[in-house]
Chain A
């Protein structure tokens, strides 16, 4: 809790806060109850809106439904992210190196590429792949995810490099390391380390953006929800959506927590510079 805005409260304030909390809590609970009551009135909680998850109609098996969503749907989502993430990391690293190069003719193209892809929607880049270059949906999704995230990752790494104290470079040169050696064995490891939380949050963004594949016809998690709802009937949309949405939340929150955990661990163990905001 932020102690910036208030001192530790005295007895009167504490009582007021307690009353306020009770009223506020009651209001929030009342809202939730109202929503549940409303949904129940529309039959949302009836068994026949949920049986698609354990005993689906049309002679299909529940195993097939779950396979189509978790194995095929989530699998496709993760596959696109798993291919795009390393590509974006490598290309981003390359761009960051060019961006910090000594010669302007190396720096300039990197700046242009970074600014260009940062300023364009991921979906547009996917359409470039799909309609412009005629790739399949998977190629288009990977392309869109890669070019956008490589630009952001390049900026993250550049900020990490810029945040290192000058003494690091000077000391490296003083012991006779070359420019390349300095970069790869002194500067980059530290830059990656301090920017690790930002890099991981960016990977969460990449995973989230893979859902744009739904729009370009890539058969990912959302598409599998829709296909199942279409096959079994729209009344199952809620049940299927709850499953799909939960899968997304679990995967993303786990990754986000990982980023926070790494950030905490690294600030505890190192006295390096604090990660700058990008």
Chain B
């Protein structure tokens, strides 16, 4: 529904442009009256300027991912992704009250960005070429890899090659699901809506393993003594920040912001306050300015 209103706004602005073009000579576009000191830092008309001026940003993140984005009943999520989003928001001059958190699940991240429903997505979001055709990515801000979670009592699964003939739970529409389907055809993939939904079936023996990015699994293993991560990661999953397609200005700015955060220690701080409580602190990755 939001799409329609943005379409309308686009239409209006186009007609406004045409009108000003028709009037001839006068090139100045209608300028918003308010302009604070913060806004002045950003190029006019850029996404950063718009967000900074509104003082509001809508962030799509996971609501059920321990260590990265896990929501409480008050509606404010906690985790590394959430902290990364906070770093970006604060660099836009947006305070905590100006951030609205929106749950995105693996299947709807592209659509939420395209519909303008969220401004950015920070949600354990793997950068890949297929998605690059739909949305743009800043980052990566973390390098993960697909791995396997089983019960501590399971003995016959030590790595991805042991998955043949096993029931493996993952999320419908996610990269791990696509990877399992493509590279492990003998594995029975059990798709749920979110990763957390996989845990009870795993405990109850209804599935044999859960497979997704190692850090997600590490979060579950840290919270549950009966679960553990097995084997080395068998894929590379660079986590990026999703934003509107071809918004290169915004992408470059987020990349700069990330690099600054890598350099001044706020990235490390964010990590240690969240995922770092159970995982070792890694080196910051190199930003990919494709």
A and B, direct touch (CB closer than 8 Å): yes
Interface residues of A (CB under 8 A from B): 56, 58, 60, 64-65, 67-68, 72, 130-131, 133-139, 142, 214-217, 219, 226-228, 230-231, 234
Contact of B103 among A64, A134, A135, A219 (CB under 8 A): A219
In the complex, identify which listed stretch (B21-29, B65-73, B233-241) lies at the interface while the others stay far away.
B65-73
Residues of A within 8 A of B1 (CB): 135-136, 138-139, 142
Q: How distant is the Cα of A68 from the Cα of B77 in the complex, in angstroms?
A: 13
Docked complex: B236-264 residues within 8 A CB-CB of A: none
Choose, from B110-118, B147-155, B269-277, the stretch at the interface: B110-118
User: A65-B73, A234-B200 are contacts. A136–B107 as well, Cβ < 8 Å?
Assistant: no
Q: List residues of chain A with CB within 8 A of the CB of B74.
A: 60, 64, 68
B71 lies within 8 A of A136 (CB): no
25 contacts between A and B (CB under 8 A): A60-B74, A64-B72, A68-B73, A130-B107, A130-B111, A131-B108, A133-B3, A134-B3, A134-B115, A135-B1, A135-B115, A136-B2, A136-B115, A138-B1, A139-B2, A142-B1, A215-B193, A216-B108, A217-B104, A217-B107, A217-B108, A230-B70, A231-B70, A231-B72, A231-B73
Q: Which residues of chain A are near B71, meaning CB under 8 Å?
A: 227, 231
B105 sits at the interface (CB 8 A): yes
Task: Give Cα A138–Cα B115 distance, bound, in whole angstroms.
Answer: 12
Contacts of B199 in A (CB 8 A): 234
Give the residues in chain A near B110, CB-CB below 8 Å.
134
Contacts of B108 in A (CB 8 A): 130-131, 137, 216-217
Q: How many residues of B contact A (CB 8 A)?
A: 28
Q: Are A228 and B115 touching (Cβ within 8 A)?
A: no
Q: Decide yes or no: A139 and B193 within 8 Å by CB, A65-B73, A227-B71 being known contacts.
A: no
Report the tally of A-B residue pairs with Cβ distances under 8 A.
71
Q: Separation in Å of the A243 CB from the closest CB of chain B? A: 13
Q: In the complex the two chains form, what is the Cα distance from A214 to B105 in whole Å?
A: 11
The answer for the CA separation of A228 and B64 in the assembled complex, in Å, is 10
- B196 CB–A CB distance under 8 Å: yes
Q: Is B63 an interface residue (CB 8 A)?
A: yes
- Selected from B63, B111, B194, B200, the residue in CB contact (under 8 A) with A134 is B111
| Distance in Å: Cβ of B79 to nearest Cβ of chain A | 12
Interface contact B111-A135, CB-CB below 8 Å: yes
Q: Given that A67-B73, A231-B71 are known contacts, is A217 also in contact with B64, CB under 8 Å in the complex?
A: no
A205 to B108, CA, bound (A): 26
Q: Is B285 an interface residue (CB 8 A)?
A: no
A227 to B194 CA separation, bound complex (whole angstroms): 11
Q: How far is the CA of A195 from the CA of B16 in the complex (A)?
A: 49
Given the known inter-chain contacts A131-B111, A135-B111, please indicate yes or no for A217 contacting B73, CB distance below 8 A.
no
Contacts of B197 in A (CB 8 A): 226
Decide: A64 and B73 in contact? CB cutoff 8 A: yes
Contact check: which of A60, A130, A139, A227 meets B64 at CB < 8 Å? A227
Q: How far is the CA of A142 from the CA of B114 in the complex (A)?
A: 19
